[in-house]
Amino acid sequence: MKLVKLLCAAAVGCLMSAPVALAQDQILIKFSHVVAPDTPKGKGAEKFKELAEKATAGKVKIEVYPNSQLYKDKEELEALQLGAVQMLAPSLAKFGPLGAKEFEVFDLPYIFPNKEVLRRVTEGPIGKQLFSKLESKGIIGLAYWDNGFKIMSANKPLIKPEDMKGQKMRIQSSKVLDAQMRALSALPQVMAFSEVYQALQTGVVDGTENPPSNMYTQKMHEVQKHATLTDHGYLGYAVIVNKKFWDGLPADIRTALDGAMKEATAYANDIAQNENDVSLAQMKASGKTQFHEQTKEERAAWVKALMPVHKDAESRVGKDLIESIYKEAAAAGFKM
Ligand code: LMR
């Protein structure tokens, strides 16, 4: 069924590689994503819609499709390449299947000591260099958007790294995340975001990792008894467009959209932390999941268990790339 949907969309998409003219010569941008509207990404997409439609005086219409309504994780990237949708914001952990495995560097545990270091990476030459890898795939990277740092959840307390042993853990499609779970002796299972709630509910998997905003808006806290505030890794997004579509836009429209994207990016990155804080507070208040705050010693044990993943990932994402991020961390005063 899904395949039929994709093929149909693709057939239309082939006709749509040039900007789509609507009845009143409007240009249509379909922006598909997999999370709830009430999340950092969901709100960022709505903000972009509002700003872009205003900046182009209605010449561009943005249709936002949240919650995997149009496509699931892997399908949405295929749909973008085929031109069936024009804009997405997949998590940085989902670019491996496209052949842009360097993006998985963002998944390395504890690689970003804080948002300042992250920003140095996404807004500096490293962020640009990563985007340049997408062009040969027919994709242009427009911006990096935050979600936040992940917490680890399951149906048992996860205090020591050894508590992860044998736990079936849902992960995104990243090989670095696979290595991360294996370093904890857990059993990683790749699964589309839209399937996670049910998989947790039915016990297909025992646990998962996500920032609080995703956990709360998908109601995962209703089917997870425990979570530890590990902040062990980062989850963020690349806002991307179909290159043929983007290059085919009139220059003045592209400039207006670029401006709207800049503003929407500042907005999304500004609200992300608060969205996660509020979601965490709401989950705590619900009393369904028990949240554990790590002591210094507990955190040190997780860091020790997970840091070897950096070395393992060298052949996948590149030693130079990892080291260039260490340099940014060092410049911000952190030693890795
Ligand atoms: C996930 O699959 O867990 C996340 O990438 C979902 C998202 O887009 O935030």
Q: What percent of the chain has pLDDT over 90?
A: 92
Mean pLDDT of 305-312: 98
Instruction: Tell whether 282 and 267 lie within a shared domain.
Output: no
Name the 3-class secondary structure at 294: coil
Amino acid at 229: L
Instruction: Tell whether 125 and 197 lie within a shared domain.
Output: no
Instruction: Tell whether 323 and 187 lie within a shared domain.
Output: yes
d(CA 259, CA 329): 29
Instruction: Tell whether 91 and 206 lie within a shared domain.
Output: no
Dihedral sign for Cα 160, 166, 172, 173, please: positive
CB 172 less than 6 A from any atom of ligand 1: yes
Which CA distances in Å does 120 have to 115, 237, 272?
9, 15, 17
CA 24 / ligand 1 centre spacing (Å): 36
Q: Quick one: pLDDT at residue 335?
A: 83
CB 91 less than 6 A from any atom of ligand 1: yes
287 inside domain = yes
Instruction: Tell whether 322 and 247 lie within a shared domain.
Output: no
106 inside domain = no
The domain boundary, picked from 219, 248, 271, lies at 271
Per this entry, what is the length of the chain?
Answer: 336
d(CA 38, CA 66): 10
Instruction: Tell whether 46 and 191 lie within a shared domain.
Output: no
Instruction: Tell whether 193 and 310 lie within a shared domain.
Output: yes
Do 230 and 169 meet the contact criterion of CB atoms below 8 Å apart? no
Exposure string of 118-140, with b = 16+ CB inside 10 Å and e = fewer, is: bbbbbeeebbeebbebbeebbbb
- Residue-number span of the structural domain to which 167 is assigned: 151-233+278-331
Q: Quick one: pLDDT at residue 322?
A: 98
d(CA 215, CA 226): 12
**pLDDT band at residue 24 under the 50/70/90 scheme:** low
Select from 77, 172, 196, 275 the residue to mutate for testing ligand 1; criterion: most ligand atoms less than 8 Å from CB: 172
Q: Quick one: pLDDT at residue 4?
A: 42
Q: For 52-103, what is each residue's pLDDT tens digit?
A: 999 999 999 999 999 999 999 999 999 999 999 999 999 999 999 999 999 9
**In this structure, which long-range contacts are made by residues 325-332, counting pairs with CB atoms below 8 Å and at least 24 apart in sequence?**
325/105, 325/111, 325/112, 325/117, 325/121, 325/126, 328/117, 328/120, 328/121, 328/124, 328/126, 329/111, 329/112, 329/113, 329/117, 331/120, 332/113, 332/114, 332/116, 332/117, 332/120
CB 214 less than 6 A from any atom of ligand 1: yes
Q: Quick one: pLDDT at residue 221?
A: 98
Phi, psi of 209 (to 5 degrees): -135, 140
| DSSP 8-state secondary structure symbol assigned to residue 33 | -
Instruction: Tell whether 192 and 302 lie within a shared domain.
Output: yes
Instruction: Tell whether 95 and 41 lie within a shared domain.
Output: yes
Atom of ligand 1 nearest to the CA of 170: 3
Average pLDDT, the chain: 94
Q: Quick one: pLDDT at residue 69?
A: 97
105 inside domain = no
Instruction: Tell whether 96 and 168 lie within a shared domain.
Output: no
Atom of ligand 1 nearest to the CA of 214: 9
Q: Quick one: pLDDT at residue 336?
A: 76
d(CA 265, CA 282): 25
Residue 2 clears pLDDT 50, i.e. is over it:
no
Instruction: Tell whether 221 and 326 lie within a shared domain.
Output: yes
Q: Quick one: pLDDT at residue 127?
A: 98
Residue 222 clears pLDDT 80, i.e. is over it:
yes
Give the per-residue SS3 of 140-183: EEEEEEEEEECEEEECCCCCCHHHHCCCEEEECCCHHHHHHHHH
Q: 212: number of CA atoms within 13 Å, CB side?
A: 21
Total structural domains in the chain? 2
Exposure string of 6-28, with b = 16+ CB inside 10 Å and e = fewer, is: beebbeebeebeebbeeeeebbe
Instruction: Tell whether 47 and 165 lie within a shared domain.
Output: no
Select from 94, 173, 209, 235 the residue to mutate for testing ligand 1; criterion: most ligand atoms less than 8 Å from CB: 235
Q: Which of 215, 236, 235 is nearest to 226 (CA)?
A: 215
d(CA 105, CA 69): 29
Alpha-carbon 61 to chain mean position: 24
The CATH number of whichever domain residue 166 belongs to comes to 3.40.190.170
Q: Which of 211, 218, 203 is nearest to 68 (CA)?
A: 218
